[in-house]
Amino acid sequence: RGMEDTPRSRFVRKNVVWTTSLLVMPPPEFWEQFVEIKKNHMNPKIKRPPFPHITLLAPFVPYRAFPEAAKLIRQALTEVKPFKVSFNEFELFENISSATLYLNPIVEPADAMKNLHQVVANLFPESIEESKGDFEPHIGVGYFKNIAEARKLRNKYQEGWKPMEFEVKEIYLMSRTAQDSPFTVRGVIPLGPQVPADYKPHFTPVPE
């Protein structure tokens, strides 16, 4: 078959947009700790409400392409088993004029998250070309102009943090309808070779 017929290339010439993304997210019962910190330290350029997530792909295909994208992703994810992640320790990325507070996931098996990213990245090369950055999985929880304040708050939040562990068993197709509106789950794609008949996703998709 020619290049234009392969599943991997179907999206090469389609536009990607910044109003959609493909994410990993903690189950909702783990959100409170993240949101309680992040809501007080949002980057002023970001107008949407805070929510904890690891970005696999952004920008991503337009919402209208989600059904086709979901089929491709699900087929590819039959070879990716669910895996465990934990969030225990705060890190601080400092540059000249600002600092970002974040948590790195401890992943088990260690390469599982990056393998997941590679699988979906292979399907949507345009997302990778536009994002212009290496994949470094993390959950950001704060943006600071004052680096000394950021260091102080990192210590404060570390002292009060309750370590958490959960299973990544699915990923999420997300979109938003305006710059200040929340990203909303539009599709849920399970990991692994078989989806149990009684499978219950952590989030219920809502159409645009």
**pLDDT in the model for residue 47:** 74
Rounded Cα distance between 27 and 116, Å, is 18
The whole-number average pLDDT for the span 202-207 is 96
> Does residue 116 have a pLDDT over 60?
yes
**pLDDT in the model for residue 10:** 53
User: Chain centroid to CA 11: how far?
Assistant: 20
Q: Please compute, for residue 7, the number of CA atoms within 13 A of its CA located in the half-sphere on the CB side.
A: 13
* Average pLDDT over the chain, rounded to an integer: 91
Sheet of strand 90-94: strand arrangement:
90-94, 99-103, 139-144
Rounded Cα distance between 173 and 38, Å, is 22
Q: What is the pLDDT of residues 26-71, one digit of tens each?
A: 999 999 999 999 999 988 777 778 899 999 999 999 999 999 999 9
**pTM score, two decimals?**
0.90
The whole-number average pLDDT for the span 13-20 is 82
By CB atoms closer than 10 A (0-12, 13-18, 19+), residue 179 is exposed
The residue that leads in pLDDT, 14 or 65, is 65
Tell me the pLDDT band of 4, cut-offs 50, 70 and 90: very low
Query: Which string of DSSP letters, residue by residue, matches 116-156?
Result: HHHHHHHH-HHHHHHH-S-----EEEEEES-HHHHHHHHHH
**pLDDT in the model for residue 60:** 96
Instruction: State which of 15-19, 127-131, 204-208 shows the largest mean pLDDT.
Output: 204-208
By CB atoms closer than 10 A (0-12, 13-18, 19+), residue 104 is middle
> Does residue 13 have a pLDDT over 70?
no
**pLDDT in the model for residue 5:** 40
Amino acid making up residue 131: S
**pLDDT in the model for residue 14:** 58
Q: Which of 61, 1, 24 is nearest to 202 (CA)?
A: 24
Tell me the pLDDT band of 179, cut-offs 50, 70 and 90: confident
> Does residue 25 have a pLDDT over 60?
yes
**pLDDT in the model for residue 2:** 35
**pLDDT in the model for residue 114:** 97
**pLDDT in the model for residue 130:** 78
Amino acid making up residue 24: V
Measured between alpha carbons, how far is residue 140 from residues 35, 37, 53, 72 in Å?
10, 10, 8, 29
The whole-number average pLDDT for the span 179-205 is 94
Q: Which of 132, 143, 44 is nearest to 93 (CA)?
A: 143
Amino acid making up residue 13: R
Q: Which of 169, 175, 206 is nearest to 189 (CA)?
A: 169
Instruction: Decide if 19 contacts 175 (C-beta within 8 A).
Output: yes
Instruction: Decide if 139 contacts 52 (C-beta within 8 A).
Output: yes
